[in-house]
Structure 1
């Protein structure tokens, strides 16, 4: 027999706190864009964007409650994307 899945309902307080975290990270992105960090600017921007995307995926798209297979396929896709972006940076650096 198929077991009834758990409810993925989250409280409004939790969702609102995630929204506030995302807004704070957006404000940090705007602030850090005005600071000259040299070559680290792109890495900080990618790091903050990755953190924000993780919050959206985990809480608003309910990836936190999915099975191991879906989580691992998503992580494999992200890993492959990171490799491709790394190759792009490596290609641009040695032109």
Structure 2
């Protein structure tokens, strides 16, 4: 095993530990957010934002999607756009139901 590969492994371990620490901090933020007095919709929205960030970290680093080609990036962007559209459909339906729009 050469020194170069050992340094390469150490750099990867450092990145993984940073991602792990970020996930741990975001988990603490999720628990702390559950104690904030928010309405159900706001609490769900906040939880979804935190979960999306955590999921992006896991997909990017642990599933090695961060180094994939641009096609994967575009597919993920389109997926996020459709995700947010689907998340806002119930909101739009609610506003239509109470005749706000």
State the TM-score, normalized to the length of structure 1.
0.78
Q: Hey, which bits of structure 1, 4+ residues long, moved more than 6 A?
A: none
- Take 1:13 and 1:31, find their aligned partners in 2: how far apart are those partners? 27
State the TM-score, normalized to the length of structure 2.
0.74
Name the residue aligned to 2:57. Answer: 55
Larger Rg: 2
- The Cα RMSD (Å) is 1.9
More helix per residue: 2
- Where relative contact order (Cα < 8 A, 6+ residues apart) is larger, the structure is 1
Equivalenced residues, count: 87
Matches within 5 A, 1:1-95: 11-38=12-39, 39-95=41-97
